[in-house]
Amino acid sequence: SLGTPVDKYDYEFLRDCRKPILFVSGDKDEFSDVVKLRELAESLPPEAQAKLVVFENCGHFFDEHLNELKSTISEWITTQI
């Protein structure tokens, strides 16, 4: 999930998730509270293997971080297959 707007939507449905989840956010994301996103990721069941990656000096649209975003997602997918 990229730039997950945890303040805007209810993500309670993820509590039943048993599949690996990757959350990626910027520490300056205007639509996502990193603290609440971390709490959500940590509250998921162990089977979800929830991973949170936070980019420094990064907003919601990952400007100037697209290569880093691509690498992060590619590496995570590689570990899952």
* Structural domain spans, the chain: 1-66
In this predicted model, what pLDDT tens digit does every residue of 15-64 receive, in sequence order? 999 999 999 999 999 999 999 999 999 999 999 999 999 999 999 999 99
- Can you give the pLDDT at residue 19? 95
- Can you give the pLDDT at residue 53? 98
- Can you give the pLDDT at residue 59? 96
H or E, element range at 45: none
- Can you give the pLDDT at residue 8? 94
- Can you give the pLDDT at residue 24? 98
Cα–Cα dist 6/37, whole Å: 6
What is the model's pTM? Answer: 0.93
